[in-house]
Chains A and B, each alone.
Chain A
Amino acid sequence: MMNLAAIIELLGLVAEVLERHRDDPDTRKALDIVGGLMAAVRAGDGAATAAAIGQLRTHVRANVTATDAAIDADLMKKFRGEDT
């Protein structure tokens, strides 16, 4: 299982990368990255683009909401001794 420190490290490194390119003397580099992404989306077919968009949306809230319901059930089961 990943721990929070590892997740923070990942996000920190990603942010570091973005920051580095944003401040690079070659000021066009960051724009080129975004521009390249734009071209990639244009070049890709509809299904591939839709799949990429779907992957980009992480939907964390929906997943933790499902977890919350399961946890609440576990709590009741622990103290009431039965599934609810």
Chain B
Amino acid sequence: MTHPLRAIAVLILLVLACCAGGRREQVATAQAGLQTAMSAAEAAARGFEEWDRAHQGAIVAAATSEADGRAKLATYRQKREAVLLAFEAFEATVDAALAIMAVTEPSPAALAEAAARSLRAVLAVRNAIATLESTP
């Protein structure tokens, strides 16, 4: 069975692979790419929120007292903070990229920097979630 997340990633690959062509085609492809990227980001965010809700629910279910539950929730939420900060950094890169796009003639260097920042932000989210997963 094809995992829905893998399907999204494959779609991204296909969209980006089609970026060659005239400017009109590039615009159309970029619009599709933007929509796909947003879907991927949304899937990751909503998936994490769902996991977070279930994980905290499990902590409550296993708690032996209210104090025990509070302590374990506090510990988990402290670790989770790194993931939230990574998501916020990703959102900031989106804002920055949009600001660059709003300029009439953005410089290639500015566009390249926006692309690099997006890459780092995606990697940071991935690493933060991986770290949380290893010691939830």
List A residues at the B interface (Cβ < 8 Å).
1-15, 17-19, 21-22, 29-44, 52-53, 55-61, 63-64, 67-68, 71-72, 74-76, 78-80
Contacts of B50 in A (CB 8 A): 1-2
Contact B44 A11 (CB under 8 A): yes
The distance in angstroms between the C-alpha atoms of A7 and B47, with both chains bound, is 7
Contact A60 B84 (CB under 8 A): yes
Binary A-proximity of B43-56 (CB < 8 A = 1, otherwise 0): 11111111111101
The distance in angstroms between the C-alpha atoms of A10 and B3, with both chains bound, is 10
> Among the listed A17, A37, A68, which residue makes an inter-chain contact with B12, where contact means beta carbons less than 8 Å apart?
A17
The distance in angstroms between the C-alpha atoms of A33 and B114, with both chains bound, is 11
With contact pairs A1-B51, A15-B119, A37-B34 given, residues A32 and B27 touching in the complex (Cβ less than 8 Å): no
Contact A33 B54 (CB under 8 A): no
Contacts of A10 in B (CB 8 A): 5-6, 8-9, 40, 43-44, 47
Please give the distance in Å from B115's CB to the nearest CB on chain A: 5
Contacts A4-B51, A42-B101, A52-B34 aside, 14 further interface pairs with beta carbons under 8 A come to A1-B47, A4-B130, A11-B44, A15-B119, A34-B111, A34-B112, A35-B106, A41-B98, A56-B41, A57-B94, A60-B87, A64-B52, A72-B73, A75-B70
Contacts of B65 in A (CB 8 A): 79
- Contact of B82 with A by CB under 8 A: no
Contacts of A60 in B (CB 8 A): 45, 48-49, 83-84, 87-88
Contacts of A37 in B (CB 8 A): 30, 33-34, 97, 101
Contact B16 A17 (CB under 8 A): yes
Please give the distance in Å from A64's CB to the nearest CB on chain B: 5
Closest to B65 in A: A79
- Contact of B79 with A by CB under 8 A: no
> Among the listed B27, B84, B126, which residue makes an inter-chain contact with A39, where contact means beta carbons less than 8 Å apart?
B27
